[in-house]
């Protein structure tokens, strides 16, 4: 039986495996997107500036980046299941602490812990997929996981907007707490995907050296940077859209959540379509060209800032490009870093959230329309450069 023909051993059948991995990777968009509709309202409730409230998102992204580096390496050493259970347990505690009334500074700290712990689910889910699949089979699984995972950014802002309107923004964290408990129970019941004889034998400190061959792998680094910069486009939209759509264009909280969900649906659809490319590298190039083309037009549209319809069409186009890149670039990067898949997955995820943590606060500098336009274009340009680096012979 070839590696592409292996059947998953976590549950009987591909579908349950896809649902589980999709739910685990969906943690990141739920943690980042669910409370987006309430961000403008939290400015007054915390008696804080917009930039401080945006730092709650930045802190979460930094946590998601660092957590993937930590938990990815730990899962290579100790196995996927025990590290998943530990990370989810910490997430549950962080959610509970977010519900205790405190100032904006303490809330930022707990948001960081939420991101740090949620990262374990994201990075280990990719590693589980790589434990079982290779080549086009891996691309198909990643596409299916992307489609399941795509439900999270569609549902999260809608649920968050409805909760914020009716029960207040803290209700969002009650829902996250319940999701964390549910997933922790599922992971306790699942089987291990990485047998002991395939685990890293070095101590955790010595495992830092596993990053060295990845840094020397031009193909891995190219596609890792390409995906990270493409995700930068996504995070620019996440950070800026609540303020642009609600404050500049005058839409309400729930209306914003529906618009954001529409864009997430586009991303989900094209993440699934990304798995249909016969040549995965062609898929990444197509996604990168879409990002660059729509970013150029969006740059012009945001500098005029008068047409919501044009703004929204360009955002949808950017999400289409990002969706294709999510599937194809993840597949290419994980194939290139297969020998240390946990570490490769960790670095892949950490790069995206690190870039997201950098670009998110930059969207609020000066005129938010202009700064957002610049960040869209810069991320798209650099993403295309990374594709050329990876394809260089």
Report pLDDT for 155. 77
Task: Tally the domains of the chain.
Answer: 1
Tokens 């500036």 sit on residue: 49
- Alpha-carbon span 34 to 243, nearest angstrom: 15
In a domain, 114, yes or no: yes
Alpha carbon distances (Å) from 22 to 105, 128, 183, 248, 366:
32, 11, 11, 34, 38
Report pLDDT for 147. 63
In a domain, 1, yes or no: no
Report pLDDT for 223. 92
Domain that holds residue 319: 14-391
In a domain, 325, yes or no: yes
Q: What is the DSSP letter of 127?
A: H
- Alpha-carbon span 259 to 55, nearest angstrom: 23
Which sign does the torsion angle of CA 114, 116, 120, 126 carry?
Answer: positive
Alpha carbon distances (Å) from 61 to 66, 268, 273:
9, 21, 27
In three-state form (DSSP H/G/I as H, E/B as E, the rest C), the secondary structure along 284-326 is HHHHHHHHHHHHHHHHHHHHHCCCHHHHHHHHHHHHHHHHHHH
Beta carbons of 252 and 303 less than 8 angstroms apart: no
Beta carbons of 235 and 359 less than 8 angstroms apart: yes
Find the length of the chain.
Answer: 393
Report pLDDT for 96. 92
In a domain, 5, yes or no: no
Q: What is the DSSP letter of 277?
A: -
Which sign does the torsion angle of CA 238, 242, 58, 89 carry?
Answer: negative
Q: What is the CATH number of the domain that holds 112?
A: 1.20.1250.20
Other CB atoms within 10 Å distance of the CB of residue 218: 12
Task: Going residue by residue through the chain, which has 393 residues, state the pLDDT in tens, using 9 for 90 and above.
Answer: 344 444 444 334 567 777 777 778 777 778 887 887 777 777 777 777 777 777 888 888 889 888 877 887 788 778 888 888 999 999 999 999 988 877 888 889 999 999 999 888 887 877 777 777 666 666 676 666 666 666 676 777 788 888 887 887 788 889 899 989 998 988 888 777 777 777 766 655 666 777 888 888 888 999 999 999 999 998 899 888 888 888 888 888 788 888 988 888 898 889 888 878 888 889 999 999 999 999 999 999 998 877 899 999 999 999 999 999 988 998 888 888 877 766 787 788 788 888 888 888 788 777 888 999 999 999 999 999 999 888 876
With residues binned 3-state (H G I as helix, E B as strand, rest as coil), the percentages for the chain, rounded to 5, are 85, 0, 15
Tokens 């990370």 sit on residue: 87
In a domain, 3, yes or no: no
Tokens 């016969």 sit on residue: 278
In a domain, 110, yes or no: yes
In a domain, 70, yes or no: yes
What is the CA angle 349-87-55, rounded to 5?
A: 60
Output the six-digit token pair for 167.
């029960």
Output the six-digit token pair for 233.
């486009």
Report pLDDT for 53. 79
Report pLDDT for 386. 92
């Amino acid at each position: 039986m070839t590696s592409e023909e292996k059947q998953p051993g976590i549950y009987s059948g591909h579908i349950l495996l896809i649902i589980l991995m999709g739910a685990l990777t969906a943690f990141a968009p739920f943690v980042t997107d669910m409370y987006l509709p309430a961000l403008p309202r939290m400015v007054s409730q915390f008696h804080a500036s917009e930039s401080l409230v945006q730092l709650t998102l930045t802190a979460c992204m930094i946590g998601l980046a660092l957590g993937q580096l930590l938990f990815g390496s730990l899962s290579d050493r100790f196995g996927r299941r025990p590290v998943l259970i530990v990370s989810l347990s910490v997430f549950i505690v962080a959610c509970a602490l977010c519900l205790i009334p405190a100032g904006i500074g303490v809330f930022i700290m707990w948001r960081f812990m939420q991101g740090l712990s949620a990262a374990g689910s994201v990075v280990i889910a990719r590693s589980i997929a790589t434990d079982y699949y290779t080549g086009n089979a891996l691309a198909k699984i990643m596409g299916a996981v992307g489609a399941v995972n795509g439900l999270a950014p569609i549902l999260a802002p809608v649920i968050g907007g409805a909760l914020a309107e009716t029960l207040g923004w803290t209700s969002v964290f009650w829902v996250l707490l319940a999701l964390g408990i549910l997933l922790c129970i599922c992971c306790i019941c699942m089987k291990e995907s990485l047998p002991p004889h395939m685990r890293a034998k070095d101590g955790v400190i010595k495992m830092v050296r596993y990053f060295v061959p990845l840094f020397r792998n031009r193909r891995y680094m190219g596609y890792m940077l390409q995906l990270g910069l493409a995700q930068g486009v996504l995070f620019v939209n996440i950070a800026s859209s609540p303020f642009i759509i609600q404050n500049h264009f005058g839409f309400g909280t729930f209306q914003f959540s529906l618009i954001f969900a529409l864009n997430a649906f586009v991303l989900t659809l094209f993440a699934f379509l990304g798995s249909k490319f016969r040549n995965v590298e062609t898929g990444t190039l197509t996604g990168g060209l879409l990002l660059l083309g729509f970013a150029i037009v969006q740059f012009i549209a945001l500098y005029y800032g008068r047409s919501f319809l044009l703004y929204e069409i360009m955002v949808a186009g950017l999400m289409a490009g990002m969706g294709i890149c999510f599937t194809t670039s993840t597949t290419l990067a994980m194939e290139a870093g297969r020998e240390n898949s946990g570490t490769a997955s960790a670095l892949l995820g950490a790069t995206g959230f690190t870039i997201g943590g950098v670009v998110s606060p930059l969207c609020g500098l000066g005129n938010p329309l202009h700064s957002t336009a610049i960040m869209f274009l810069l991320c798209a340009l650099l993403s295309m450069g990374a594709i050329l680096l990876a394809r260089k012979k």
